[in-house]
A and B are shown apart, each in its own frame.
Chain A
Amino acid sequence: MKSYKGMLAKRLRLVLAGCAMALTAVTSAAAAWPERPVTVVVPFAAGGGTDATARILASLLQRELGQPFNVVNRPGGNGLVGHTAVAQAEPNGYTIGIATTELGSYKPMGLADLTPTASYTPIALYNFDPAAVHVPAESKFKDLPSLLQALKSGERVRISTGGPLGGSWHSAFSLLLLKQGINPATVAFVPSNGAAPGLQEMISGGVDATASSLPEAKPLVDAGKVRSLAVVGLQRLTTFPNVPTTKEAVGTEVTGGAWRAIMAPKGTPNDVRDRLVGAVEKIVATEEFKKFMNDRGFGISWAKGRDLDTFLAENEKSLGDTLKAVGLAK
């Protein structure tokens, strides 16, 4: 019994010492961040696109700031688990995370009270990939107007969403339909486990069109199996100069797609945030980062501070509106 008490006292001391250390860590965080390794939470599994961008960013941040940046994957619930982990972490700069488009869908769909604008200290946007519309090479739809015309006339066109319903590509395409005066709730959207399975379903004849990013369809376009009709954005992509924008194709100015940003927990000290923003800004401008993003087919998009706040707010609103229009919002 005595030895048990002794152990308890010893443990208590340890815990207290730990608390004291944690406290000093918090107070000194502002002074000379980062003084110890930083955890970068990725809300998707290792090996995916989000994970790959996080790992290159982490290795460059490590070089820039002199402390290890450890990538930790917290997949689950279409990204909800990892996004929640960052939002609930201690706001001391030692836990940051990657946030993705999915973050905007949790609240409208009634899954969690988590939003890009209210739940975090946004650091920087580093990637945006606009959605595009693809059809099989032999499809009767030669361009975007003919596809939209068919949808307007009430013809049953099956469209793969290249991911879950309510995901980036589904939302972006629905936004285009809304602006064209077509009710997206009447369209036969078919969900899939990602862009590649969606495109596979299309070339096998299971659906008539697929929404996904342009690079995701590139191997099949090169193989002569798929044609990309238009990209849902304001400018053509330099890597796909032959694919018209929705503005050129049907005269609708609309942007929609998938984004990735670095976020810190809400309440992260301003000077930590500023150091992090500065470091990421330097990294995004390096040849190394540009080459990586370009080779993987990811578009670099940069926003910080007020621009980022505006970007996140606009995305949150349009995603919310779209989810309501397709009937997925609670």
Chain B
Amino acid sequence: MRKVNQDRVPVRIKGMGDGLCVTLDPAQPLSHLQEELAIRFSQMKNLAVNARVIFDIGEKDGYEDLIEELGKFLRKTFGVGSVSRFLRDGPVSEEIIRKRDMENSWYHYQSDVLMLTGRVRSGQKVTARKHLLIMGDVNPGAEVLAGGDILIMGSLRGTAVAGQPDNDGMIVLALDFQPTQVQIGGFVAAGLPPSSKKLPEFAHVENGTIVVEDYLKADPFGRLPWPQVR
């Protein structure tokens, strides 16, 4: 078999959501591209049947004929479902974002939140890549770490480390806020004054220190006019 440079491979396939993204170089001749596609699609066997195929030809415009031709070829030989062209995100206008957000079109949004129920006990350590939501209590001696926000729907008495490694914009929220220690990004707050108010409170970074406030009073996100992905 001919050895090819990885950068110059004319056809590459990767899974994208529930479809297949086919990256190809449209400058190559049609027959060559078909050959390459045939090799790769025949390896996938049944996976290709009824699959949604998206062609990505880079930043270039035109080539509609080429895509149509290749689409026809794939449909005929491998029985793929739909064939379409990958659209680059241009500068998406504010209006479109707003429209999307207002129309509740979150249905296809996939979340990075780790959501757990139950009690985190002393000696246990929960680490989340992004946001962490625990419906339960965090006991003294337990540690909860997250790359994003930490929300505790219960009492927080252990250590909470949010915004790892260096995101200062994150918050730590608990319905009963009595942590041993809170860290947000690079800031550490130890020896927080004990508040047994049993109010939902949250910690955030303000002017280089961690500040704890009554969540309902401060309402940090109440001023955002429409829902946004965090």
Please indicate whether A and B come from the same complex rather than being unrelated chains: no
Chain B positions within 8 Å of A, measured between CB atoms, are: none
Chain A positions within 8 Å of B, measured between CB atoms, are: none
